[in-house]
Amino acid sequence: MYAVIALAFLAGVIVIVIALGRPSLTESQVRMVVVDTFLSEEPEAFLITGTITFTTSVISESEKTLLPGILNLDLGTTVATVRAPGRAAYGFDASVLSGEDIRLVNDTVFVRLPALEVFAVEPDLEKLEERVDVGWARMYRSSGQAQSTLALRKLQPAMRRLAMEYLASADYPRENTQRAVERMLGPALRIAGLENPVFVIEVRPTVVPPTG
C-alpha cells in the first residue's frame, strides 16, 4: 500500500519536475521569434512565398483621320499586339507586422500576415509574339513602330496588374503562403521551447487598385 502511494508520489514529482524544467514561451517571446525569423530570412523584409506563371497580351492602337471636321478621310487604324509568357514572384512585407498580429494561446500561434503583393514580374522576351496591322493609308515606320513600342512598354505593367488580380481572387497563393510560413516558423519556435506549435495563419486580402 505504502509502496503504491510512494510510487504515485514519485510519479507526480517527476511530472512536476519535467513541467518546470521545460521552457515555456511567453507571447512577447513568440512575437520576437516570429519577427526575427522573418527578418533573418530576408533582410529587406519582403518575403517571397511563391511564384505564378501566366501569359499576357497587350494591344496598342491609333486611329488617324485626314483633315478632321473638313474632309474626314479615315486613314485607317494601326494596331500592335504583343503576347508573352512570364513569371511573377509574390509575398508580403514583414516590416509592417505589429505585435497585435502575433498571438499565443497555449501552444497555438496566431499570425495575421499582411496582404500579398507582387514583388517582381519577368516577361520571357525570347518567346515574345508580336503582330502589327498598319492602317491602309499609313506607314509602318511611323505608326507601326510607334504602336509596337507602346505595346511593349505596356507589357510589364499589364503583367503586374494581372498577377495582382490573381492574388486577389485565387486561394492558392494564400494557402501556399500559409504553408511556407509554417515551414519557416516551426523549427525556430521548437528551438525556442515550443515543442509542438500549432499555427493559425491569416492572410489579409489583396486589394487591386482601380485603373485610372
pLDDT digits (tens, 9 = 90+) for 21-50: 444 678 888 888 888 887 775 556 789 999
Q: Is residue 80 part of a domain?
A: yes
Please give the average per-residue pLDDT across 176-202, as a whole number. 92
What's the confidence (pLDDT) of residue 44? 64
What's the confidence (pLDDT) of residue 151? 94
**H/E/C letters for each residue in the chain?**
CHHHHHHHHHHHHHHHHHHHHCCCCCHHHHHHHHHHHHHHHCCCCEEEEEEEEEEEEEEEEEEEEECCCCCCEEEEEEEEEEEEEEEEEEEEEHHHCCHHHEEEECCEEEEEECCCEEEEEEECHHHCEEEEECCCCCCHHHHHHHHHHHHHHHHHHHHHHHHHHHHHHCCHHHHHHHHHHHHHHHHHHHHHCCCCCEEEEEECCCCCCCCC
Q: Is residue 211 part of a domain?
A: no
Q: Is residue 17 part of a domain?
A: no
What is the domain extent for residue 88? 25-203
Q: Is residue 13 part of a domain?
A: no
- Percent of residues, the chain, with pLDDT higher than 90: 55
When pLDDT is cut at 50, 70 and 90, the band that residue 75 belongs to is: confident
Q: Is residue 3 part of a domain?
A: no
When pLDDT is cut at 50, 70 and 90, the band that residue 10 belongs to is: very low
Domain total in the chain:
1
More confident residue, 34 or 73: 34
pLDDT at 118 over 60: yes
Q: Is residue 96 part of a domain?
A: yes
Q: Is residue 72 part of a domain?
A: yes
User: Position of cell 507582387?
Assistant: 118
When pLDDT is cut at 50, 70 and 90, the band that residue 9 belongs to is: very low
> What's the mean per-residue pLDDT of the chain?
83
Q: Is residue 197 part of a domain?
A: yes
- Write down the pTM of the prediction: 0.78
Q: What are the tens digits of pLDDT across the range 76-98?
A: 889 999 999 999 999 999 888 88
Please give the average per-residue pLDDT across 198-205, as a whole number. 96
pLDDT at 188 over 70: yes
When pLDDT is cut at 50, 70 and 90, the band that residue 108 belongs to is: very high
Please give the average per-residue pLDDT across 126-140, as a whole number. 86
